[in-house]
Structure 1
Amino acid sequence: MTHDLVAALRPLLTAEASAEAYASGAEPGDLEQAVWLRLLERLKADGPPRDPHGWLRNAVRSEVRRSRRTARLERPYEVEPADDSARDPEVLALAAARRRALREAVRRLPGRCPRLMEALLSPKDLTYREIAGELGISQGSLGPERSRCLGCLRRLLAPEVAVR
């Protein structure tokens, strides 16, 4: 019975979905699929409709209205979440691991270097004048001190970078 009903309704559904889809901006295949699902739900709950052809036409139009409402209310993403590399868990985890490795290497630096590098890496974006005042050194010696500290940091991180 169900197989016969599906076979009898298939050509009508294809024609109705094709005729209604383009005006609503929906894909004919999506409409067909939605109506088949409605029919299966109907068969399970109430049995076959008395007027299958009339029911099918009404179901297609109802799905078209739903599709229009959905299209009006939904907004597409600027970037697909799966393609958003800024939010990719793997990218975020690797970036966090790099930041941890850098902070650990900064802590192992000699002398005033850890404090200087922490000030340079600070999210406060301190100026050289503010850093010099914080560390109690002259602003003119900050550049050469920074160069020495960066050289030490490069040597500390060289084995770790070479492994990657």
Structure 2
Amino acid sequence: MTVADTRLPYGPHRAAAALVSALSPLVSAEATAEAGWAAAEPRDLEQAVWVRLLERLADAGPPSDTARWVRSAVRAEARRTRRTAANELPYAPERPDPATDPDAGPEHSALRAEWRRTLRSAVVRTPGRCPGLLTAMLSPKDPTYREIAGELAISQGSLGPMRSRCLGCLRRMLAAEVAAPEQRGKER
């Protein structure tokens, strides 16, 4: 394409614009229809098809059966998108750098371990059925109320009030054990 072609009143740019305008509803409908199974956004599929169409116009001109070409192009892009998504793997989360992250150092790890030991120690000392309930609630398996109720052989409706009482008791115990540090070096 030359500079002279762009100045023509009905040059290739106007023809491409007319084709894009005419095919816009079809491309949008096809992309919306194919986006669901491709696990892609319809607008992403549309954009990829428009790029393919413009590349085709530059290389070989408009397709002879544009509606058929649009349908096959949308399906091809949907397959490519799905294949790409299936082959992509997410990055593993980065481990924090102790030099730049104050919460990543050995001191922080030691403090967290001490906090967990204190919490577990206090849970064991709570009265009645509280140790079993609190241990189940702190489980890394994250059980549901139904599972906890089945495990403890109590009704599911009584878990909420019991949990509230147990957490209140645990809060009072921890507040007494982990009291605010006194100011040192000052006389009273």
Q: TM-score, normalised by structure 2?
A: 0.44
Q: Which has the higher contact order (CA 8 A, sep 6+)?
A: 1
Q: TM-score, normalised by structure 1?
A: 0.50
More helix by share: 1
